Amino acid sequence: MLKTNDKLVTVRVPATSANCGPGFDCLGMACTLYDTFTFELIPEGYELEIEGEGEGRMHPSPNNLAFLAFLKLWEQVKHTETGLKVHMKNDIPLSRGLGSSSAAIVGGLMAANYLSGKTMKPQELLNMATAIEGHPDNVAPAILGGFTISFMENGTAQALRIVPARRYNLIAVIPDMPLSTAKARGAIPAVIPHKDAVFSASRAALLVGALMSGKSRLLPIAMEDKLHQPYRGPLIPGSFQAFAAAKKAGAYSAVISGSGSTLLAVAHLQADGNKIGLAMQEALKKEGMDSTVKLLKLDLRGAKIL
């Protein structure tokens, strides 16, 4: 039962795809795949019900990200502790590079903000969410929706939200294999050649320009990257072949979503998303990797109190 009163609130938060190729730790987009969280204040203790992803695998605890985020904001605003019951309906797969952690964090913060009197502005929520998540590129689009360019300045997270001039098909190919962000970050060298930095900076700038101007023909080049994918690709057997298969089947480009293991293809709205997804799946399968395809679009709304 979804309802909102002074003790209970329901928040829907979109999945997010970070990096978008060259925009490591700064570019991100919200996708039409959602987790829905209902938070209820109870006198004491912690309770958790889950439907969908994570069912039977997560336990009520102040360390669970949804609880942690809620309690952090609640205690900061109300200067008091509370018990908490959370119901999650999770469609975002866990540890697959589609922002399930950010969704839990943003859900917790939005709910606590709502129930504690709505004193925090989106900018403050962005900062708190980034402090918990560690980088802003998933939490920004989860809060704001659309495509976001986020950055840190003097320890503060900020984001510019844009709405691309055109709509695209986003084809998410989700391997059965989870990949932890810590492992995927560990694969990236601390220092990269200057020419690779120039390569990626030029593509990241071009990507924002291509999206804003609607010059989709630039996307195949604009989504190239040398900051993280060359190092992470080998952690997802078949990923490079799947990128090539996506293009051959009609996508503009395909990239690792966030830190993986999901691969995300971007295609024209009229392109055959099923064909692209299948081609990518087959490429992964040849390397022994089973996967699921989800056909998505850009979410423009961001996190929403229902």
Footprint of ligand HSE on this chain (CB under 6 A)? 18-19, 24-25, 135, 137-138, 181, 184-185, 228, 258-259
Residue with tokens 């979109």: 14
Name the residue nearer to ligand HSE (CB basis): 16 or 116. 16
Q: For the chain, how many residues are written?
A: 306
**Which helix (H) or strand (E) covers residue 109, if one does?**
helix 100-115
45, 298, 306, 304: which is closest to 148 by C-alpha? 298
Q: Is 218 left (phi over 0), alpha (psi -120 to 50) or beta?
A: alpha
Is the Cβ of residue 125 or residue 184 nearer to ligand HSE in the bound state? 184
From CA 13, how far away is CA 303, in angstroms rounded?
Answer: 4
What's the closest the beta carbon of residue 298 comes to ligand HSE, in angstroms?
18
Instruction: Return the DSSP state at 196.
Output: H
To the nearest 10°, the Cα dihedral for 231, 236, 237, 242?
-100
Residue whose tokens read 């690709």: 233
Nearer to ligand HSE, 97 or 108 (CB): 97
The set of residues, in sequence order, having a beta carbon less than 8 Å from that of 273 and lying 6+ positions away, is 169, 171, 267, 295
Min dist CB 279 to ligand HSE, Å, is: 24
Q: Give min distance, CB of 77 to ligand HSE, in A.
A: 27
Q: Which is nearer to ligand HSE, 188 or 278 (CB)?
A: 188
Residue 228, amino acid: H
C-beta of 41: minimal distance to ligand HSE in Å? 30
Q: Which is nearer to ligand HSE, 25 or 91 (CB)?
A: 25
Q: Which is nearer to ligand HSE, 18 or 263 (CB)?
A: 18
- Residue 69 CB, shortest distance to ligand HSE, in Å, is 16
Spatial separation of the C-alpha atoms in residues 282 and 292, rounded to whole Å: 11
* Nearest distance, CB of residue 188 and ligand HSE, angstroms: 8
